[in-house]
A and B are shown apart, each in its own frame.
Chain A
Amino acid sequence: MELTPQLVSLQLVTGVALGAVYALLAIGLSLIFGMLGVVNFAHGALFMVGAFLGMYFLGLTGNFWFSLVLTPLAVGAIGLVIERLLVRPLYGRGIDYPLLLTFGLSWVLIEAMRVAFGIEGIPSSTPPALRGSVDLGVGYFPLYRLFLIGATAAIVTLLWLFIEKTRYGLIIRAGSRDPEIVRVLGIDISRVWLAVFGIGCAIAGLSGVLAAPTRAVNPEMGIPVLAESFVVTVVGGMGSLPGAVVAGLLVGIVFALTSLVAPDLAELSIFVLMALVLLIRPYGLFGKAGYMG
């Protein structure tokens, strides 16, 4: 095989597209962790639910854009219910308990989708407007994956604006540093937590519906995704949103370039990356010491 500049460039674009989905997933995970200290093991399952609901809404409305709006709302609503009924009683009990609970929850969600949509899953299709491939000058690249990169950039920008420029964002930022401050400001912190958990889940669902057209939608699709999004979150530093984005792209690119030279080690490469990062920077690229010990 010849490593031409064209091939390497195309591979980099592929890596960025992969990284876009990783980054989105990690943002949701990191947001919930940074604010609530909850390690959400159901994140992969919510991604999967998002993919199913996305394809279901697509079938129902025949419009991908509707589905792109409806799905995060629906998964976000599921998130609200989860927080209110299951996670809230566990605050202050350490990280192990929410971890176990959300793990159990992920099994329930997987089984629920099996019952609702069948074991084999459902075929997914690319929206007609986004089909086909584009000549990037270095080779043909699927249009939909370019859309993925753009969509992620848009979502990240919106989220950044929300957190940096709005009153709610200010409360969230303050709350993640010190819940007392928020209480002093006279804001019901439990409602902030509820909202953040909902937003985190909505982002997981959104990544699911965005990723669905690129892959088979089946009940187990969230299991490997969970491990990958943890890797990204940890590499970036738990609780850091810029970290999630940078690490997402980094992991995507490392995966893509490893695929080129040693494809069978592609999956391993991201774990090696994580081990290296943590051994050099024990709290991740953008993480702060202090989270859990």
Chain B
Amino acid sequence: MTRPIDPKRRRLLAAGAGTALLGVPAFVRSQAATVKIGFPVPLTGAFSAEAQDQVRAAELAVKEWNDAGGWNGAKCELLVRDDKLNPGEAATRTLELIEKDKVNFVVGSLSAATQLSINAVCRDRKIIFNSISQSDTINEAKDWSLYTFHEALNPHMTAGAVARYAFPKFGKKVVYLTADYAYGHEMVRGFQRAGRAFGTETVADIRHPIGTADYSAFLPRIQQAKPDVLVLCNFGRDLVNSAKQATDFGIKQSTKIITPVLLFTSRLAGGPDAFEGVMGGTSYYWAMEDKIASAKAFNDKFRKAYGGAVPSDYGALGYAGIRSVLQAVKNANAVESQPVAIALRQLKYDWYKGPQFYRKCDHQSVQSIIIVESKSKGMKDKNDVFNVLHIEPADEKNLRTCDELGHKVST
């Protein structure tokens, strides 16, 4: 170890550096030599497969836009950050993106809690945030701002579409097995509300702690109730485990199992047996390319860029989320938050799944919902896991009303 600096001098140095630092002006937004988009997603943790797919799809959107010339010669740069699926980390990373990297926009997130925390940080600093994961809360007036956009489906829309398709077909007695957090509760609410039209009856709503690995303690009750339909209102690994164990307990013999969001990757991880006959909703499934031209175009670009791989549901949202923002930059001919937000509000687009637009009062993307069922035989390859049963077209009436969300001015 070298001889340490004389303490007095050190203090002087410190004081000098301190003053120099205080002299630095508040952060100055860089003028658009590049358009910077921050992209916080959980690259590690339970949803890292989806997150990595989101990054790939987002990079595709960026490349496409840059290849098309960008905006006034400015190219787009994507700054990917790992939020570790942790809202505190997400907030920190968003602060980093805004304060240090001076991003113009933020797109990303893969859980309700992280998107709300990213939104809180962006909202205070008047930065546009386009969320690409599900939540009903973010639409509500309390969390919303002019700069909050929601590209993904929300639980109300998803649950409603699945309910409208499934309830008339499978019966009136319904049991919910629900992860005990906002996402689960919002899904149940969506099913129950849509179910009213068909006279469905909630036999039980069993709320399990989020992240439960063993559902056996919840299943005898369901077995005894013998409902027509069991709705698994949980997500990801909770869905895989509960579907698998419900199968083990023989629930499927007398009951149809449905779920609001049937994840592509969950089905891959859970295998065909556990998911046999399970039906659910999704924002996107690659095989809808047979019916939707823009889906075909998107899949082809993705396959070409990534060696024949197909995009997953949440992955595709990364593409749409970025492409909307970049299109709005061009339309607004600006990168400042306010003009771009206005351009987004006026945007009508069809990037990958048919026509979409952001509703004026809450900036929720109005879009189609795909109903799929898990395949257990006749699969052509590992990606061939679902049958597309139905596509419910985009319709504003399937959303909760602006009044209900607390938006006073419905424009």
Contact = CB atoms under 8 A, between A and B. Distances in A.
Contacts, number: 110
B389 interface: no
B208 A266 contact: yes
A125 B217 contact: no
Given A120-B49, A144-B248, A216-B237, A18 B217 contact: yes
Interface in A51-107: none
Contact of A266 (B204, B209, B219): B209
Given A123-B269, A216-B213, 20 more contacts: A1-B221, A1-B225, A14-B216, A18-B216, A119-B48, A121-B269, A125-B271, A133-B250, A139-B223, A140-B249, A141-B249, A142-B248, A142-B249, A145-B216, A214-B244, A216-B269, A263-B206, A263-B208, A266-B208, A267-B212
B266 to A, nearest CB: 9
Nearest to B274: A123
Contacts of A1: 204, 221, 225
Given A133-B248, A133-B249, A214-B214, A119 B49 contact: yes
Contacts of B225: 1
B273 interface: yes
**How many A residues touch the partner, as a band?**
35 or more
Interface in B269-292: 269-271, 273-274
A219 B387 CA distance: 29
Contacts of A266: 208-209, 212, 217
Interface string A129-164: 000110000011110110000000000000000000
A141 B216 CA distance: 10
A121 B48 CA distance: 11
A113 interface: no
Nearest to B240: A216
B216 A17 contact: yes
A256 interface: yes
B245 interface: yes
Interface in A1-26: 1, 4, 6-7, 10-11, 14-15, 17-18
B226 to A, nearest CB: 11
A19 to B, nearest CB: 11
B269 A139 contact: no
A221 B250 contact: no
